[in-house]
Structure formats: structure tokens, C-alpha cells
Amino acid sequence: MSFLLVAPSAPGNLELCAQWRSARGAEKASLANRLGASNGLTKNTKLAEAQPSDINSLYRIPDIQRLCRNS
């Protein structure tokens, strides 16, 4: 018998995921960075730091999608 373990969602994930889904550009990257950081996701590049004008997330988009699908 196998069990699927699902990590508990961090507070606010539901709202952030809803905002992330409808956001574009730098706002979408910023929301993805907040979700990634608060849920301990793996960065695309180790030790990378976000800049306010970034249009690309520091975190892997498939990981953000999976997180938001399970939130």
C-alpha cells in the first residue's frame, strides 16, 4: 500500500495562487517568487535574488503550477 503525502499549504496560498493565475509580467514573477519562498520550492539558480523589475520567476514554473493546483 502506498500513500501520497501532500504538504500542508502555507497560509494565503489560495489567494496568492488566484492572483498568480491572472497576473502578467513582473507582477506574475513577484507572486511566483512569494509562493516559492513561502513554500520552500527550489530556485532555478541557486542563491539568486529577486529584483523588483524581474519578469521571470526565481522558481520553476511547473513547481508553482503544481503548488497552485493542490492549493
Cα–Cα distance for residue pair 46/58, rounded to 1 Å: 9
Q: What pLDDT does 41 receive?
A: 93
Backbone angles phi, psi at 43, to 5 degrees: -75, 155
Contact 13, 71 (CB under 8 A): yes
Widest CA span of the chain, in angstroms?
48
Q: What residue segments make up the domains of the chain, in order of their start?
A: 13-42+49-69
What pTM was computed for the model? Answer: 0.78
Cell triple for 21:
493565475
What digits encode the pLDDT tens for the residues 8-59?
A: 456 689 999 999 999 999 999 999 999 999 999 989 888 888 777 778 899 9
Read off the C-alpha cell for 23.
497576473
